[in-house]
Chain A
Amino acid sequence: MRGSRKPAIVAVAVAAALAIAACSSSSSSSSSSGTSASSSSSSSAKVTLTWWNNGNTQPLLGVWDSVAAAFHASHPNVTVSVVPIQSDLFTTKMPIALKSDSPPDIFQQWGGGQEATQFTSGKLANLSSLSSAWISELGQAAAGWQVNGEQYGIPYDQHVVGFWYRTDLFKKAGISSPPTTIAQLESDDVKLKAVGITPIALGGGSRWPDAFYWEYFAVRECSESVLQSSIKAINMNAACFSQATKDLTAFMATNPFQGGFNATQAQTGAGSSAGLLANGKAAMELQGDWETSVVPALTANKNILSDLGWFPFPQVPGGAGAATAVLSGGDGFSCTTGAPEPACAEFLQYIDSTPVQEELVQKGEVGLPANSTAQSVLTNPALQAAAKAHSTAAYDAEYFDIAFPTNQGQALDTALADFFAGKGSNSTIINSVSSSSGH
């Protein structure tokens, strides 16, 4: 599940508890169980790796505990202390931790501009040489975790954003195959409305789902080189970005979303956008591949996953971007400079090994493993479609809020959420990343 996409409700509700827990590390569970004669660690001294991850709920909580225990079994000198922390808390905890003399050895890392912002602390370990022997197994996936061409983080999964849809509701509206162009999507919306179904659920109350629409229009309108140079220069003055706003305005004018979408949260409860899709109250939702780990908990329908299909964001005629380009991201980890090496890098390698990656896929926590050989165990047809779209994409465009430095990325999300709520204009979106007074 994309880490920064966890609901804010949980963040606030557990903030105090976790803050205390993380400080005292009383909630950390050590993987002291299990011993093994075999050891591949080149270090003989006993070390402990403190590991801050966002697996604070099942099934990931259990998976990471067992991964830590298994690693200790094969590396008896290395004990991994697991500290689960809710995703949103990393925003506040990492600056403090990276300023202190005792940051965690390993912590959750979403790469991109956010990683570059953390890099300025000087506490991120360069993993390039320690991972050079095996990083190529991850292919292009690892590039999003580089700063200045060096590997300061390593992903364990990838994400792709696309439309999740209810195959049963499409059938009911007489839609035989998913749309491939925006015009088709709009005409399908009309068909769905005609049979009383809300076409698309949108979690505007959580802000970030709004951004997917504008970003995808930008990915379709801008060429790869313009996209890359704009992100690098933190400047969206290229005409294609304004064109994306025009496309979005036209699309929103067709009223494809549920009423009151500005206050709908993305993932919390049956009334959330994922809940509306899960309970058949809306036919589609533009979301990441993590949808399959969110939706089942929001409905009594035990077969919900077999009712879901997936199709990529439709083509926009005349756009300079590749029709198959995808908006994507992923989850990973960084080591800090004080972490015992090579133990830390070896642990990240272990997480990316095929058996662990397959376990993550099978437990339903990871849709697209960073190690593509583990994709063979994917069984859900919709996830397979998403994985195929990702692996055959002309190129990946990282979510803009992660690709830009944190400050500008968040400013863009806010400007887009305001736009969806009817406040703001193309210029407020475009200027959000370059204007220092974007508060």
Chain B
Amino acid sequence: MARTQSASPAAGRDLISRPAAGARPPRPRRGLRKRLELTVLLVPPTVLFVGFVIVPMIFAAWYSLYNWSGFGPLNDFIGVQNYNGVLTGPVFHQAIEHNVIIAVLSVLLQLPISLGLALLLNRRVRGRTFLRLAVFAPFVLSEATAAVMWYELLQPGGPLDALLKAVGLGGLIHYWLASTSLVLYSVFVVATWKYIGFGIVLLLAGLQGIPPELREAAAIDGATPWQVTRAITLPLLGPTIRIWIFLSVIGSFQLFDLVWIMTLGGPANASSTILTYQYTNGVQRTEFGYGATVSVVLFVFSLVFALAYQRYALRRDTAGAVTRAVI
């Protein structure tokens, strides 16, 4: 017994070690396969990313140090003069101000509207699919199409004015796109119409990720629907809301197509954004060095915002998911 007992652990070790030893040869194969997989999966996107994102960024930073019309050699080095021009220019300040106004309004107005509609559309209401489709439809349209459509709707004496008159609100009629004090807000309304569907769909997805048991349990404990929403739904929707704010602010800073088609950033820069400023002063005036400078400045703004937001607002959301996984 004792022999067999003493032998069995050895035999057991053997048995255990054998398959382990036997498993060794496939390991390099698995490693090779893994490396091959990584190569196939990572190289094409890396090449594309470096070629179409990193390299152009380096070029932009390089061009931004020159006075360059785009023609002829790059030989008029002017150091940071373009940066001085951009950062001290009142028209650029105005453009930044407009971007900030749109970003702030987006968060203050679009978020509550998106949230409200998402909560509504998450309930079992009649025609829910149709309603979801209706609010998401504008997001599917291209910006150019939406801009042309709204440009026509907002014409003096156009469909919107006719509608206001028909319902007895003729006194509210204004030059929606020609008034320098109104045009930015007209553009903001169009952007809201265009992008509200995206927020709603994002928040709906977030809502569906919240286990119904939590709300049911709270309801059984006697919580009112408002208490359930405030104490359970909204906190659990936090990560989605924070991501939406992030996307919305970055999107606000990159606003171009809608504005350009509807107003060219005018009248008199009243609806300009950083990118319409860049197009007017960099591309149309063939001052490509200056245009590159504006791009670099916008990039730095977006990067600083993104990093700060990641650090302070998204840290909790990404701590488990990304940071630890990478570490």
* A residues lining the B interface (CB < 8 Å): 8-9, 12-13, 91-92, 94-96, 98-99, 117-122, 204-207, 258-265, 268-269, 271, 406-407, 410-411, 414, 417-418, 420-424, 437, 439
Lowest 7 A-B CB distances belong to which pairs? Answer: A95-B70, A421-B267, A260-B178, A263-B177, A421-B268, A262-B267, A423-B268
Does B253 touch A at the CB level, under 8 Å? no
Judge whether B144 and A9 touch: CB under 8 Å. yes
Does B148 touch A at the CB level, under 8 Å? yes
Q: How far is the CA of A259 from the CA of B71 in the complex (A)?
A: 41
* Chain A min CB distance to B30 (Å): 42
Judge whether B286 and A259 touch: CB under 8 Å. no
Contact of A8 among B72, B176, B264 (CB under 8 A): B264
Does B105 touch A at the CB level, under 8 Å? no
Contact of B264 among A121, A206, A424 (CB under 8 A): A206
User: Which of under 10, 10 to 19, 20 to 34, or 35 or more describes the interface residues of B?
Assistant: 35 or more
Give residues 283-326 of B contacting A (CB, 8 Å). Answer: 283-288, 290
Judge whether A259 and B156 touch: CB under 8 Å. yes
CB within 8 Å for A98 and B71 given contacts A260-B177, A269-B152:
yes
Give residues 73-98 of B contacting A (CB, 8 Å). Answer: 85-86, 89, 91-92
Chain B residues with CB below 8 A from A259, complex form:
156, 175, 178
Q: How far is the CA of A141 from the CA of B151 in the complex (A)?
A: 38
CB within 8 Å for A91 and B283 given contacts A8-B260, A12-B260:
yes
CB within 8 Å for A205 and B264 given contacts A12-B144, A259-B156:
yes
Contact of B177 among A92, A205, A269, A411 (CB under 8 A): A205
Contact of A122 among B72, B263, B283 (CB under 8 A): B72
Chain B residues with CB below 8 A from A268, complex form:
148
Judge whether B266 and A207 touch: CB under 8 Å. yes
Judge whether B92 and A439 touch: CB under 8 Å. yes
Chain A residues with CB below 8 A from B280, complex form:
410, 414
Q: How far is the CA of A78 from the CA of B72 in the complex (A)?
A: 30
CB within 8 Å for A117 and B263 given contacts A95-B71, A414-B280:
no
* Chain B min CB distance to A410 (Å): 4
Judge whether B268 and A95 touch: CB under 8 Å. no
Besides A207-B266, A259-B156, A263-B178, 14 more A-B contacts (Cβ < 8 Å) are A9-B261, A92-B283, A95-B71, A95-B288, A98-B71, A262-B177, A263-B266, A406-B286, A417-B266, A418-B269, A421-B180, A421-B268, A424-B268, A439-B290
Contact of A263 among B70, B142, B144, B267 (CB under 8 A): B267
